[in-house]
Structure 1
Amino acid sequence: MPAAARVEAPSAPVGPMPTARSHTAANGSGVRPPAYAALDLGTNNCRLLIAVPTRPGQFRVIDAFSRIVRLGEGLSRTGSLSRGAMDRAIAALSICAQKLSAREVDLGRGRLIATEACRSAANGVEFIEQVKRVTGLDLEIVSRETEARLAVSGCGSLVDQSAEGAVLFDIGGGSSEIALLDLRGGSTRRLASRIVAWTSLPVGVVSLAERHGGRDVTPEIFEHMIVETVEMIERFDGRDRLGELVGGERFHLLGTSGTVTTLAGVHLDLERYDRRQVDGLWLTDREADGLVARIAGWSFEERVANPCIGSDRADLVLAGCAILEAIRRVWPARTLRVADRGLREGLLTEMMDADGVWRRDTAWRSNS
Structure 2
Amino acid sequence: MRAIIDIGTNSVRLLLAEKDDKDEWKVLKKDLRSSRLGEGMTDTACIGQGARERTLQAVEGFVKEAKEAGADEIFAYGTSIMRDAGNGPDFAKLVEETTGVKVRILSGTEEAYYSYIGAAGTPGVLTAVVDIGGGSTEICMGFGTDVGMCHSFQLGCVRCSKQFDTTTARGLSMLKKHCFELFRTTDLMEYIRNVKRWIGVGGTVTSLAAMIQKLDVYDSEKVQDFVIRQENVTEALKKLSAMSYDERCRTKGLMPERADIIVAGIAILDSLMEYLALSEITVSDRDLSEGLLDADVLVPNEPK
Q: Partners of 1:104 and 1:166 in 2: how far apart?
A: 35
Partner of residue 139, structure 2: 178
Find 1:169's aligned residue among 130, 135, 159: 130
Q: Partners of 1:94 and 1:244 in 2: how far apart?
A: 45
Partner of residue 113, structure 1: 77
Partner of residue 227, structure 1: 177
Find 1:313's aligned residue among 248, 258, 267: 258
Partner of residue 204, structure 2: 259
Q: Partners of 1:153 and 1:101 in 2: how far apart?
A: 26
| Alignment map for 1:9-28 (pairs within 5 Å) | none
Contact 2:233–2:270 (Cα < 8 Å) also in 1: no
Residue 353 of structure 1: CA displacement? 7.8
| Alignment map for 1:248-287 (pairs within 5 Å) | 251-287=196-232
Contact 1:117–1:124 (Cα < 8 Å) also in 2: yes
2:273 is equivalent to residue 328 of structure 1: yes
Contact 2:137–2:153 (Cα < 8 Å) also in 1: yes
Contact 1:180–1:241 (Cα < 8 Å) also in 2: no
Are the structure 2 counterparts of residues 302 and 275 from structure 1 closer, same or farther at C-alpha, using a change threshold of 3 Å?
A: same
Are the structure 2 counterparts of residues 126 and 243 from structure 1 closer, same or farther at C-alpha, using a change threshold of 3 Å?
A: closer
Q: Partners of 1:146 and 1:266 in 2: how far apart?
A: 30
Q: Partners of 1:100 and 1:157 in 2: how far apart?
A: 25
> What does the per-residue CA deviation read over 1:308-352, in whole Å, with 9 as the maximum and x for residues that have no partner?
224311110011011101211221222210111211100114558
Contact 1:273–1:307 (Cα < 8 Å) also in 2: no
Q: Partners of 1:285 and 1:324 in 2: how far apart?
A: 9
2:27 is equivalent to residue 61 of structure 1: yes
Find 2:247's aligned residue among 299, 302, 306: 302
Partner of residue 73, structure 1: 39
Calculate the TM-score normalised by the size of structure 2: 0.90
Percent identity at matched positions?
Answer: 27
More displaced 10-residue stretch of structure 1: 71-80 or 269-278: 71-80
Q: Partners of 1:256 and 1:288 in 2: how far apart?
A: 14
Residue 57 of structure 1: CA displacement? 6.5
AA of the residue aligned to 1:97: V
Q: Partners of 2:298 and 2:156 in 1: how far apart?
A: 30
Calculate the TM-score normalised by the size of structure 1: 0.76
Contact 1:158–1:280 (Cα < 8 Å) also in 2: no
AA of the residue aligned to 2:82: C
> What does the per-residue CA deviation read over 1:239-271, in whole Å, with 9 as the maximum and x for residues that have no partner?
12335446xxxx342110111111101110111
Contact 2:233–2:266 (Cα < 8 Å) also in 1: no
AA of the residue aligned to 2:201: T
Q: Partners of 1:339 and 1:330 in 2: how far apart?
A: 21
Gaps of 5+ in 2: 300-304
Partner of residue 152, structure 2: 200
Partner of residue 337, structure 1: 282
Residue 72 of structure 1: CA displacement? 0.9
**Secondary structure of residue in 2 paired with 1:75:** coil
Equivalent pairs counted in the alignment come to 299
**Secondary structure of residue in 1 paired with 2:18:** strand
Are the structure 2 counterparts of residues 71 and 232 from structure 1 closer, same or farther at C-alpha, using a change threshold of 3 Å?
A: same
Larger RCO (CA within 8 A; separation ≥ 6): 1
Residue 78 of structure 1: CA displacement? 5.5
Partner of residue 5, structure 1: none
More displaced 10-residue stretch of structure 1: 293-302 or 274-283: 293-302
Contact 1:39–1:46 (Cα < 8 Å) also in 2: yes
